[in-house]
Amino acid sequence: MNAVFETFKLRAEAVSAEVHRFPRKNEALDFILHYLHDVGISETPQTGAVWASCPFLDGFDQKQLSSQLPGLSFDVNREASAEAKVGISQLDWAIANTGTLVQDAARVDQRLVSTLPLIHIALIRSDRLVPDLPSALSKIRPEQTNYISFITGPSRTADIERVLTIGVHGPEKLIIVFFDGVCDEPGRVN
């Protein structure tokens, strides 16, 4: 797993993503909360954070997290996401040889928080890291999924006068947070 993770990290960082890995969910949460504090998350317009519902949040008191960090909201809608500085979502798979994240984005809240804010924090369980695209495709069930997103680095385009521009059609910064653990039941990580 370490070699596969190092490959992912190398590929993702090559396209301007930031990659972190933590052995426990609590450590990943501490990192996220410190990061949100450091980037100035507050209740002031354009400085909030929206966090889409996900299994990572199981076992954490969302009201307590919101009171601990004013400006952090778990009520995701189009307006809140467009006004937010940071969006947080949990992804389904990570592909090592391309540094790509894969998300079943059928839920609108997942799409909103991963595309509208300036910064996207993507959570991924370490055991959901696969070596290549064929491995990821073997895990995806098209009959159960209506909308799959593949995310490789922050938004970028070279349409405008053939000059590479970051963040035109989506987040200008992508922070990928892996967390280890064994899944005993869906939505539960130890």
Q: Where are the domains of the chain?
A: 2-181
For 161-177, b/e burial (b = at least 16 CB within 10 A) is: eeeeeeeeebbbbbbbb
Domain 2-181, second-level architecture: 3-Layer(aba) Sandwich (3.40)
pTM of the entire structure?
A: 0.87
Task: Provide the pLDDT confidence category of residue 4 given band limits of 50, 70 and 90.
Answer: very high
Q: How far apart are CA 75 and CA 167, in angstroms?
A: 24
Per-residue tokens: 157: 């385009």
Per-residue tokens: 44: 């002031």
Q: pLDDT per residue over 96-105, tens digit each?
A: 999 999 998 8
User: Whose CA is closest to 164, among 172, 155, 156?
Assistant: 156
Q: pLDDT per residue over 40-59, tens digit each?
A: 999 998 999 999 999 999 99
Q: What is the mean pLDDT of the chain?
A: 86
Q: Which of 71-80, 101-110, 136-145 has the highest mean pLDDT?
A: 71-80
Burial grade of 122 (CB within 10 A; 0-12, 13-18, 19 or more): buried
Q: Is-contact 104 145, C-beta < 8 A?
A: yes
- All residues at 6 or more sequence positions from 77 whose CB lies less than 8 Å from its CB, including other chains: 109, 112
